[in-house]
Structures are given as structure tokens and as C-alpha cells.
Amino acid sequence: MFKPTIAGTYQFQAKSNNSGTPYKDSEIVTVTITEPTKKTITLKNTPYRADNAILKIKRINSKDKNGNNNVTDKLVRLDNTYYNEYVLEVNNKGEHFIENLIEITFLVVNKSIKHNNEVITDYGQRVYPTALTEIVLTQVISHNKPSTRITTFDQLRESDLLVFYKIDIPNDNSQVITKSYFEFNLNDMGIDYAGDLNFTEFIEQ
């Protein structure tokens, strides 16, 4: 099965095996895949229009080896591997307030981190979520006015529940990432979003 990850025109042809059989190559089939445009948030199996999407990376106040104050990306350690921590929020706004939202906390593996006996010696480079990065879900908060539900994953695990099909790397600490495309599905809730994604940093207190 062919699953395209980017828009474009694709051509397919069934080839003969050239083993003396009378079969010939098939006609070429051309398929055009267009950019997705859907913006939907689903709660309790009911779809709503997604009005806003925000991707936030968690940062913390810390001290360097000389005791100087510093702000660094928050790192989570699992099985001797370090991860960056992100929060993705997609919401639906009512007349005055947000009425429905899904907020997903997840980890992205960062193999550039260097450490010695659990002491970080090099913070490496920040890793952003993409179609290829390893993602681990930790918590999902869903709000469907007037109720709120929190799903916490007791067993941290790699997950294909959240997939970033297309997302550009931000150039600044806060910006709009255009033409992003991602999906999320868990039980009776989900996200199918293609469009602008607001990226920002926030310091965890």
C-alpha cells in the first residue's frame, strides 16, 4: 500500500517479470495528491471546527556548572535516553471563550544530549517533532464544555497516535509555522489539522 506524505503527482506501473510469460507492462496510472485543508477537532465522536493550534516547548530555569543562572529546554530522562518535552493544543472557540480543546503532552527523543553518570555535560541541539522523530505520549487533556477529561499514560511508550506528516523547523523562538499537517486519534477523540501552527516557548514553573 502506498501512503504519500507530501502533495504531488505520482505515477505507477505494473512491470512484467520477463520470465517468458506473455504479460506486458501495464499502462501508467497517474495520481495527484493535493494539500490537505481539513481543520477538525473531535470529542466524544463529535467533530468541531479547529480554530487554533499551538505547539509549545517546555523550558526551565537552571544553573550551569559555574553556578550561573540559565534557561534551558526541559529534558526528560527515560531508560538512559533524554527527550525534549512539548505540549500541543488544538481548540475550538465559542462566541467568547474556548469551548472544546485537546492538549497533548509528548516527548521527542534527543540523541544529541551528552551525559556522564546522569549529569548532563552537553545539552546538544533541540529536536523538533517531525514525521521521522520518535514520539512518546505522556498525557492528554480533553475539554468538551462543560466537562474535562485527563488521560495519563502509566506506561510511557512510543506511539503512532500522534503523527506529524508535515512541519517545518521554526527559525525563531516564537513564530507561525505555515502549512503544517498532523493527526491524532485516541478512542472517541481526535485531531485532523492542516494549516498554521503557532510555535512558542514557555518556562515551566
32 pLDDT band, cuts 50/70/90, is: low
**pLDDT tier at 122, thresholds 50, 70, 90:** confident
C-alpha cell at 176: 507561525
- Residue 7 is assigned to a structural domain of this protein: no
pLDDT band at 18 (very low <50, low <70, confident <90, very high): low
Selection from 12, 181, 9, 32 nearest residue 1 by Cα: 12
Question: Is residue 67 assigned to a domain?
Answer: yes
Residue 87 domain-assigned (yes or no): yes
DSSP 8-state secondary structure symbol assigned to residue 171: S
- Mean pLDDT, the chain, integer: 85
Q: Does 13 reside within a domain?
A: no
Q: Name the domain count of the chain.
A: 1
Domain range holding 153? 36-203
Residue 120 is assigned to a structural domain of this protein: yes
pLDDT value for 136: 92
Instruction: Determine the length of the chain.
Output: 205
Task: Say which amino acid occupies 78.
Answer: L
Residue 100 in domain:
yes
Nearest-angstrom CA–CA distance, 123 and 73: 9
C-alpha pair distances (Å), 174 with each of 57, 73, 164: 10, 14, 19
pLDDT digits (tens, 9 = 90+) for 167-203: 988 877 779 998 899 999 998 999 999 999 999 999 9
Quick check: is 15 in a domain? no
Q: pLDDT category, 60, cuts 50, 70, 90?
A: very high
Q: Within a domain: residue 24?
A: no
Q: Cα–Cα distance between 76 and 59 in angstroms, integer?
A: 11
Q: Which residues contact 34 (CB under 8 A, 6 or more apart)?
A: 7
